[in-house]
Amino acid sequence: MTSELQVKQQVRQFYDEVGWQEVGEGVYQNARFEDLRPVSREYIHNCHLRIGRYLNPTGKYFLDAGSGPIQYPEYLGYSKGYQARVCADISIVALQEARQRIGDRNENGQGLFVVADVANLPFIPYAFDGVVSLHTIHHLPVDEHRQAFLELYRVLAESKMAVVVNGWESSSIMDIFTMPLKWGKRLMKRIRRRIKLINAGKSSPKPGEVSTFVNKHNADWLRREVGTLIPLEIYVWRSVSVRFLRVYVQPYLGGKWLLRQLYYLEERFPHFMGEHGLYPLIVLKKSGMVNKWNR
């Protein structure tokens, strides 16, 4: 068995057995990676809506590659004007949950559910008028990230758009804010060691904090490995991490106001915030040029 296969099996098992298990009403374990507090709701909602702006509003088939269970209501809006939404995922539990959520046919058209690997999509070229792949490519074995982008591009119809959201491995904007947190953490660790409350070794994760294989890149990697083969543009999806939100955004400290200012900056400087913030929104537009990846 190759290590690539092992990675995929581990990821699939994680989502089947942990990530897509409900821990509350309509809330999956995976939502621990999101800030669901009321103070952040408006900002998070607006960031989700951003994705729809870059997609063609109508079409025949819409692909959600690595769909999960379509966990946030805003996700449904992206395919509202399409005849069918195809959810593709390696996790069968994700697809069962997605099917329960939207059914085979609903006001958004037909729901179709396919167990598939985003790096080897079982669809013909030009099949989809709209494509999203959100927070998925980072779970693939590193050698397959480029292939996954090319696959999304391959199945996209002529002059249509695909949106990929994935975190960067690091962010200069986030570094400014997380530095004091890191120092604080180190200091606390030292104090605890001194009073012998914990051992010198690494502490084990708390229950509910388990995760799976993730590997991320930076903008240089994306431009070099993918941007030289297919046209892409980097915008911002969300510039800050959940950790940032939980620490710095508090309702009693003008958190909502702070996030409105941040959102304004993201809208004003989408390329800068996309490249230097934590989560870029990557737009692929199928151009008229025919290269070896198109067919």
Residues that bind ligand SAM (CB under 6 A): 8, 11, 15, 30, 66-68, 71, 89-91, 94, 117-119, 134-136, 139-140
Nearest approach, Cβ of 131 to ligand SAM (angstroms)? 12
Spatial separation of the C-alpha atoms in residues 51 and 202, rounded to whole Å:
38
Which residue number has the CB closest to ligand SAM? 68
Tokens of 56: 């063609």
Bridge partners, 236 (sequence order): 280
Query: E strands along the chain, which residues?
Result: 22-24, 27-28, 58-65, 81-89, 105-106, 109-115, 128-134, 156-165, 232-238, 279-285
Nearest approach, Cβ of 3 to ligand SAM (angstroms)? 14
Give 247: exposed, middle or buried? Use CB within 10 Å, 0-12, 13-18, 19+.
middle
Nearer to ligand SAM, 19 or 109 (CB): 19
Nearer to ligand SAM, 66 or 255 (CB): 66
Nearer to ligand SAM, 17 or 158 (CB): 17
Nearest approach, Cβ of 68 to ligand SAM (angstroms)? 3
Nearest approach, Cβ of 200 to ligand SAM (angstroms)? 33
Nearer to ligand SAM, 89 or 275 (CB): 89
Nearer to ligand SAM, 2 or 203 (CB): 2
Nearer to ligand SAM, 65 or 234 (CB): 65
Query: Between the CA of residue 278 and those of 178, 189, 287, what are the distances in Å?
Result: 12, 26, 28
Residue 270, H or E segment:
helix 270-276
Q: Which residues of 2-13 are buried (b: 16+ CB within 10 A; e: fewer)?
A: eeeeebbeebbe
CB 152 within 8 A of CB 162: yes
Nearer to ligand SAM, 101 or 256 (CB): 101
Spatial separation of the C-alpha atoms in residues 41 and 242, rounded to whole Å:
12
Nearest approach, Cβ of 168 to ligand SAM (angstroms)? 15
Nearest approach, Cβ of 212 to ligand SAM (angstroms)? 9
Max Cα distance, the chain (Å): 66
Nearest approach, Cβ of 237 to ligand SAM (angstroms)? 11
